[in-house]
Structure 1
């Protein structure tokens, strides 16, 4: 799932491996998916993009944006992006297939849900996309403690820590995946009400957002996710499906999990309060 670390890592890989490639052919919606969202008619993607040169890629929160001359292609959380140096090795089932003139290909599949938006620059309007562009990135200088503290308003008091971090696009791209290690590092339980979080703990939470995301990026992404070449990230998650029922790295107690707010949370009952 694309979240902040993956969007940074994958955009860097695309800039290193795809910039300068010319699009020869595009097929969208080859394998129809009820929760694959396109901009306009996906049958028009080939006419829109063919002949265009890949110029750059950039992360936008938990989204990834590719610029191809006067067009942009945006992938959201829920998409899986793979690059194949030999197009013949690409899978037959996909939601987007981009073939380049050098016989390589970029293939995008949607897991549970995801957006695959191709459009002429300036034409597309979407609040989530625009918010991801406009709001300070957690690893930027603009995202300082004053800004982070401003996100915590009176309306947030009865929210859980998970809801505060991962809903309402307060921090675009910070989702249920990366928040696990952030809350573990700061010692806050994902179900804990924000009104019970002290100022010092808020400062620790802010620091954890910065440090954990930085470590995830430097590690090439999380070990639960894959890059455009299909390789797992080298950042070893503390809390994830890979560490469930293993000893906590701090206290040795078993890592637990629960269903909460439409997703799975992992936690240490001893270290997170």
Structure 2
């Protein structure tokens, strides 16, 4: 499942390749990924010029015309691929945008995903994105801002990281090494953190996500051009039974709510 680093890179690439293009036609294979029917979707977008593309958490926002925005979420996984003029669209896709210059953008979902068209004056009421929290790649995500986010919270650290209403973009994949880097147990409570631990967690979030984005994200995810990411392995994530990279203690897999977590029981003690 793509998380912040992969979505951030896709949005940057889409902004570079698509801005200024005009939509000539849209091939819709799976209507259920839309928030309106196929006819209305095409009517609203055909002939519109593409503006800026940005990401927030696991969502991509693309300006389409003066009054509407395209919202894209890949759900549990998928591919967003850019096609040059004359190139064939390889593999299956659920949606394909064709532009007047002969280029195209195909979108495929492995399981489920969303492509919504929303009027700009209604974005704040769009149920799936209106409550998104801050993205750790935003300049506003400072240490002081992070400390304020934690005020009054009594949930576990794992719950905090996965709560898209608080911090948008982190999923179960990146949460593993973020907590390990901070040397914090996933079931520690937020209100129990010392100032030093809070700063370590903040730094671990920023450093891990920026590092992953700079290296193209995970190897099993693809960018806009079909290239795989450069992150091939984790520090402790999904390495049950293997030695901790710091102290060599065997990595354990534990149950944390509805998710599994991978920890070093020595480096991440539950105090």
* TM > 0.5 fold call: yes
Q: CA deviation at 1:128?
A: 4.3
Equivalent position of 1:88 in the other structure: 88
For 1:56 and 1:201, locate their aligned partners in 2 and report how far apart those are by CA, in whole Å.
Answer: 38
2:214 to 218, 221, 224: 218
Equivalent position of 2:48 in the other structure: 52
**1:160-197: CA deviations, max 9, x gaps?**
21101212510122222222221111011223333443
After the TM superposition, which residues 159-198 of structure 1 pair with which residues of structure 2 at under 5 Å, given as runs?
159-167=155-163, 169-198=165-194
Q: CA deviation at 1:87?
A: 5.3
Equivalent position of 2:69 in the other structure: 72
For 1:196 and 1:252, locate their aligned partners in 2 and report how far apart those are by CA, in whole Å.
Answer: 27
1:110 and 2:106 correspond: no
**Aligned with 1:98: secondary structure?**
strand
Equivalent position of 1:199 in the other structure: 195
For 1:98 and 1:153, locate their aligned partners in 2 and report how far apart those are by CA, in whole Å.
Answer: 44
Compared CA separation, residues 194 and 239, structure 1 to 2 (3 A): same
**1:98-148: CA deviations, max 9, x gaps?**
12234332222233443211233324422442344xx54323442222221
**Aligned with 1:122: secondary structure?**
helix
Equivalent position of 2:136 in the other structure: 138
**Aligned with 2:105: secondary structure?**
strand
* Contact residue 48 and residue 119 of structure 1 kept, 8 A: no
**1:189-211: CA deviations, max 9, x gaps?**
22333344333211110111121
Unaligned runs of 5+ in 2: none
* Contact residue 27 and residue 43 of structure 1 kept, 8 A: no
What number of residue pairs does the alignment pair up?
263
What is the RMSD computed on CA atoms of the aligned residues?
Answer: 2.6
Q: CA deviation at 1:245?
A: 4.6
For 2:19 and 2:268, locate their aligned partners in 1 and report how far apart those are by CA, in whole Å.
Answer: 44
Unaligned runs of 5+ in 1: none
